[in-house]
């Protein structure tokens, strides 16, 4: 049974940093594209960053240069380091595992096979 458990969300002032973690279990962690998505109230989930099996990454334009996605295959854990946070980054953040057949090149929720439960990030001005 695939499980994705996020942690690390919270409240921070603008300009601050947070690191999200996502511990995965129930499958061969290193074999899949993984990513982070976020959802604003009343909006659909949008892609933030993805990381492929070989470690290559893609980012949404809105977070480039501020957020860094990484993974530790030995710990089955995905990370999102968020720096220079802005109030507009306030959202629920979700860890995602892509479908096995997905090409890890686009930030697309349709390519996601499994979601975590989400962790709230709140940035105050």
pLDDT tens for 48-97 read 999 999 999 999 999 999 999 999 999 999 999 999 999 999 999 999 99
pLDDT tens for 101-117 read 888 989 999 999 999 99
Task: Identify whether the C-beta of residue 57 lies closer than 8 Å to the C-beta of residue 50.
Answer: yes
Helices (H) and strands (E) in the chain, counts: 0, 11
The Cα–Cα gap between 82 and 93 comes to: 12
Short-list 75, 88, 100, CA closest to 24? 75
Residue 34, CB-side half-sphere exposure with 13 Å CA sphere: 30
């Amino acid at each position: 049974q695939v499980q994705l458990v996020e942690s690390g969300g919270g409240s921070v002032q603008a300009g601050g940093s947070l690191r999200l973690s996502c511990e995965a279990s129930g499958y061969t962690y290193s074999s899949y594209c993984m990513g982070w998505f976020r959802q604003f109230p009343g909006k659909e989930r949008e892609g933030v960053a993805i990381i492929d099996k070989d470690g290559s990454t893609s980012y949404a334009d809105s977070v480039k240069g501020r957020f860094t996605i990484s993974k530790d295959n030995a710990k089955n854990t995905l990370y999102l380091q968020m720096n220079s946070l802005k109030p507009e980054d306030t959202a629920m953040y979700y860890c995602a595992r892509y479908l096995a057949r997905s090409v890890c090149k686009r930030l697309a929720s349709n390519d996601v096979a499994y979601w975590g439960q989400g962790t709230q990030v709140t940035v105050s001005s």
